Amino acid sequence: MTTIAATFARHQALHDEIAKSHPSLIRGMVWCRHCNKSRRVDPAECLRSGWPKCCKGTTMSIEKPAPVKP
Ligand SMILES: [Zn+2]
């Protein structure tokens, strides 16, 4: 028998699994490619409720931007 609660619990576990399996996600930091602002996030929470956005609604990146050379 499948209940809504059981389905939700499965999804929750899946999200936690994804968050743990990706090295960039474990770091829990995202960057905006436009303004270079960094932000600490809970990856599992982001996968559940939506990824953080910054300038002009751009999805923030889990890849740290390369430092600008002088
Ligand atoms: Zn920004």
**3-25: per-residue pLDDT in tens?**
888 888 888 888 888 778 877 77
Instruction: Give a yes or no: residue 65 inside a domain.
Output: no
The whole model's pTM is what? 0.63
Instruction: Give a yes or no: residue 63 inside a domain.
Output: no
The predicted pLDDT at position 67 comes to 72
Instruction: Give a yes or no: residue 24 inside a domain.
Output: yes
15 Cα to the center of ligand 1, angstroms: 26
* Cα distances (Å, whole numbers) of residue 8 to 22, 24, 32, 63: 22, 25, 31, 29
Instruction: Give a yes or no: residue 70 inside a domain.
Output: no
Instruction: Give a yes or no: residue 31 inside a domain.
Output: yes
Report the alpha-carbon distance of residue 53 to residue 46 in Å, rounded: 11
Instruction: Give a yes or no: residue 67 inside a domain.
Output: no
13 Cα to the center of ligand 1, angstroms: 31
| Total domains present in the chain | 1
32 Cα to the center of ligand 1, angstroms: 5
Range of the domain at 17: 4-57
